[in-house]
């Protein structure tokens, strides 16, 4: 379901104020591809409030899923967390997740942001940025505009191995089909300002440095750059203008209880904690991500970019198009 992001705040109960009393000898094992300090701080706060020890193992999402798949005869992980909705498909196809209690979740979340065995933790939009001091009248309105010949030599984007780019193209295949997705990828390659290099932050820095006019990046990087200890990143973030293309691609970070979890009650509590109002507010203010709750307003920085309409994505099927996306990138020589 397409949804127009309208930033409102409605008062609901905060989980932290009504959580279980601290107890000893309880634990939850988390396999997470969200390698952020904000998550570690939340886990520490959860431990302090509940007495439940959080044992964290970090890695890349696909690698952690493979490990969970190997261990499913005797599950070690209780909670899996990752940064891309495309991983839901693999997890469900391999029967790696168990059902969540979503009764409370459904009261304050869009129905596209949770399923019977997974729930979105945060959202991040893949947008087009530019130097708003140098470019005062940006003309791009859609992702399709990026392949226009007038932008030849002006586009900055990271490599085809980026999970963010793979998910973007997979969503395009899901919505538009392989033919249009292939034409789009080929058109972007023809307009590259340089061979893809670096991460999303590097694309924005290159745009401000004048190495290209427009860069594709995830919104949350702008948020983290704006509060960075690196003065250069703060300065770059302040100069960035943000374009939400029509049908903006929005991917999710999500969490689930691993099938066979030995601490499923604790896993449920942790996931509920992460989607509670207080934690969602922290995610958007400290990590520049969109909250998943309707009653939590995004940070002031995010709101300053305006509102947008998100593309219609079936996150449970997104992963079915990943292999085709990778093939297209190879075919059009998107390095």
pLDDT tens-place values along the chain, 335 residues long: 444 433 333 333 333 444 554 556 899 999 999 999 999 999 999 999 999 999 999 999 999 999 999 999 999 999 999 999 999 999 999 999 999 998 878 889 999 999 999 999 999 999 999 999 999 999 999 999 999 999 999 999 999 999 999 999 999 999 999 999 999 999 999 999 999 999 999 999 999 999 999 999 999 999 999 999 999 999 999 999 999 999 999 999 999 999 999 999 999 999 999 999 999 999 999 999 999 999 999 999 999 999 999 999 999 999 999 999 999 999 999 99
- Integer Cα distance of 332 and 323 in angstroms: 15
DSSP helix/strand/coil, 151: helix
pTM of the model: 0.90
Relative to beta strand 97-98, strand 26-32 is unpaired
Q: What is the C-alpha radius of gyration for the chain, rounded to an integer number of angstroms?
A: 20
For the chain, which domains are there?
A: 15-123+252-298 (3.40.190.10), 124-249+318-331 (3.40.190.10)
The residues, ordered by sequence, that sit 6+ positions from 115 with a Cβ below 8 Å of its Cβ are 88, 315, 316
The CA–CA distances, whole Å, from 12 to 20, 123, 277 equal 18, 20, 8
Helix then strand count (H, E) for the chain reads 13, 10
């Amino acid at each position: 379901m397409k949804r127009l992001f309208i930033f409102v705040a409605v008062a609901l109960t905060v989980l932290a104020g009504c959580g279980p009393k601290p107890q000893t000898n309880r634990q939850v094992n988390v396999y997470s591809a969200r390698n952020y300090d904000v998550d570690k701080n939340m886990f520490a706060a959860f431990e302090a409030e509940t007495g439940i020890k959080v044992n964290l193992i970090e890695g890349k999402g696909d690698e952690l899923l493979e490990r969970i798949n190997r261990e499913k005869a005797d599950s070690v992980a209780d909670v899996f967390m990752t940064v891309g909705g495309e991983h839901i498909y693999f997890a469900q196809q391999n029967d790696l997740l168990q059902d969540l209690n979503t009764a409370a979740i459904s009261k304050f979340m869009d129905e596209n942001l949770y399923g019977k065995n997974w729930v979105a933790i945060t959202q991040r939009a893949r947008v087009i940025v530019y130097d708003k001091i140098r470019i005062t009248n940006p003309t791009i309105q859609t992702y399709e505009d990026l392949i226009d010949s007038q932008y030849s030599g002006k586009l900055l984007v990271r490599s085809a191995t980026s999970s963010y780019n793979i998910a973007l193209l997979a969503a395009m295949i899901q919505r538009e089909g392989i033919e249009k997705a292939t034409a789009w990828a080929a058109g972007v390659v023809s307009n590259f300002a340089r061979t893809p290099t670096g991460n999303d932050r590097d694309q924005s820095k290159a745009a401000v440095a004048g190495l290209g006019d427009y860069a594709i990046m995830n919104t949350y990087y702008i948020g983290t750059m704006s509060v960075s200890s690196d003065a250069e990143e703060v300065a770059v973030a302040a100069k960035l203008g943000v374009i939400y293309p029509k049908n903006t691609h929005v991917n999710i970070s999500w969490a689930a209880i691993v099938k066979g979890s030995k601490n499923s009650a604790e896993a449920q509590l942790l996931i509920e904690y992460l989607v509670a109002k207080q934690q969602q507010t922290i995610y958007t203010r400290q990590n520049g991500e969109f909250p998943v709750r309707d009653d939590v307003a995004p940070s002031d920085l995010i709101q300053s970019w305006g509102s947008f309409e998100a593309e219609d994505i079936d996150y449970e099927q997104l992963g079915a198009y990943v292999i085709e996306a990778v093939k297209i990138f190879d075919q059009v020589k998107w390095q």
